[in-house]
A and B are shown apart, each in its own frame.
Chain A
Amino acid sequence: MKITMAHGSGGNASKELMGNIFGKYFKNDILDKLEDAAVLDVSGRIAMSTDSFVVTPLEFKGGNIGKLCVCGTVNDVLMMGAEPKYLTCGFIMEEGLDIDLLEKAVASMARQAEEAGVKIVAGDTKVVEGSGGLMINTTGIGVIPETRDVSAENCAPGDKIIVSGTLGDHHACILSARMEIENEIKSDCGCLKDITDALFGAGIDVHTMRDVTRGGMGTILNEIADSSRTMIELQEAAIPVSEEVKGFAGMLGLDPLYMANEGKMIAIVPGDQAEKALELMRATEHGANAAIIGEVKQLSCKKDNDMSGTDADAETKPVVHIKTPLGATRVLDVLYGEGLPRIC
Chain B
Amino acid sequence: MNINEIIEYLKAYDGPDIKMMEVCGTHTASIFKSGIRSLISPKIHLISGPGCPVCVTPTAYIDKCGEYALMDNHVLMTFGDMIKVPGTHGSLADLKGEGAHVEMMYSPFEAIEKAKANPDITYVLAAVGFETTTPAYALMIDKAEREGVKNIRLVTALKTIIPALQWICENEDGIDAFICPGHVSTIIGSKPYEALAEKYHKPFVVAGFEAEQILAVIYDIVRQLESGHEDVNNLYRNAVRDEGNIKAQEILARCFEAGPAMWRGLGVIPGSGHYLTGKYAEYDGGSMGLDADMELPASCRCGDVITGRITPGDCPMFGTGCTPLAPYGPCMVSAEGACGIWYRNR
Q: Which A residues form the contact surface with B (CB < 8 A)? A: 178-180, 253, 255, 324-331, 333, 336-338, 340-344
Contacts and interface: CB of A to CB of B under 8 A. Distances in A.
B39 interface: yes
Interface string B21-38: 000011001001111111
B335 interface: yes
A330 B345 contact: yes
Contact of B345 (A178, A325, A331, A343): A331
A93 to B, nearest CB: 24
B56 to A, nearest CB: 12
A344 B133 contact: yes
30 contacts: A178-B106, A253-B26, A255-B33, A324-B34, A326-B7, A326-B35, A326-B215, A328-B34, A328-B36, A328-B38, A330-B345, A331-B345, A333-B346, A336-B323, A336-B324, A336-B325, A337-B84, A337-B324, A337-B325, A341-B79, A342-B80, A342-B81, A342-B336, A343-B53, A343-B54, A343-B82, A343-B129, A343-B133, A344-B53, A344-B183
B107 interface: yes
Given A341-B81, A343-B81, A344-B52, 16 more contacts: A180-B106, A253-B29, A324-B34, A325-B34, A326-B3, A326-B215, A328-B38, A330-B38, A331-B346, A336-B344, A342-B80, A343-B79, A343-B128, A344-B26, A344-B53, A344-B183
Nearest to A178: B106
Contacts of B128: 343
A324 B3 CA distance: 14
Contacts of A330: 32-33, 35, 38, 345
Given A178-B106, A253-B336, A333-B344, A344 B130 contact: yes
Contacts of B225: none
Contacts of B335: 253, 340, 342
Query: Interface range on chain B: under 10, 10 to 19, 20 to 34, or 35 or more?
Result: 35 or more
A121 B244 CA distance: 64
A325 B211 CA distance: 9
B83 interface: yes
A344 B80 contact: no
B307 interface: no
Best-buried of B26, B84, B344 by chain A (most CB within 10 Å): B344
Contacts of A336: 323-325, 340, 343-344
A343 B133 CA distance: 7
Contact of B107 (A179, A329, A331): A179
A327 B335 CA distance: 24
Contacts of B287: none
Given A253-B335, A253-B336, A326-B39, A340 B344 contact: no
Given A178-B106, A329-B38, A331-B345, A342 B334 contact: yes
B53 A329 contact: no
B36 A326 contact: yes
B245 interface: no
A340 B81 contact: yes
**Per DSSP, are chain A's interface residues mostly helix, strand or loop, or mixed?**
loop
Contacts of B7: 326
A326 B211 contact: yes
A344 B129 contact: yes
Nearest to A254: B335
A324 B211 contact: yes
B83 A344 contact: no
B132 interface: yes
A179 B106 CA distance: 6
A343 B55 CA distance: 11
A338 B104 CA distance: 13
B33 A324 contact: yes
Which 3 A-B pairs give the minimum distances between C-beta atoms? A328-B35, A340-B80, A336-B324
Nearest to A258: B344
Nearest to B83: A340
Contacts of B84: 337, 340
Contacts of B53: 343-344
Interface in B158-211: 183, 211
Nearest to B344: A333
A326 B34 contact: yes
A326 B3 CA distance: 9
Given A178-B106, A337-B84, A342-B334, A327 B39 contact: yes
Contacts of A331: 345-346
Contacts of A333: 344-346
Contacts of A179: 106-107
Given A330-B33, A337-B325, A344 B106 contact: no
A23 to B, nearest CB: 39
B21 to A, nearest CB: 17
A335 to B, nearest CB: 9
Contacts of B79: 340-343
Nearest to B40: A328
Contacts of B215: 326
Interface in B19-71: 25-26, 29, 32-39, 52-54
A288 B133 CA distance: 40
Contacts of A255: 33
A34 to B, nearest CB: 43
Interface in B82-99: 82-84
A267 B39 CA distance: 32
A328 B129 CA distance: 32
A174 to B, nearest CB: 12
A344 B80 CA distance: 11
Contacts of B25: 344
Contacts of B33: 255, 324, 330
Contacts of B129: 343-344
Contacts of A338: 80
A332 B330 CA distance: 22
Interface string B209-227: 0010001000000000000
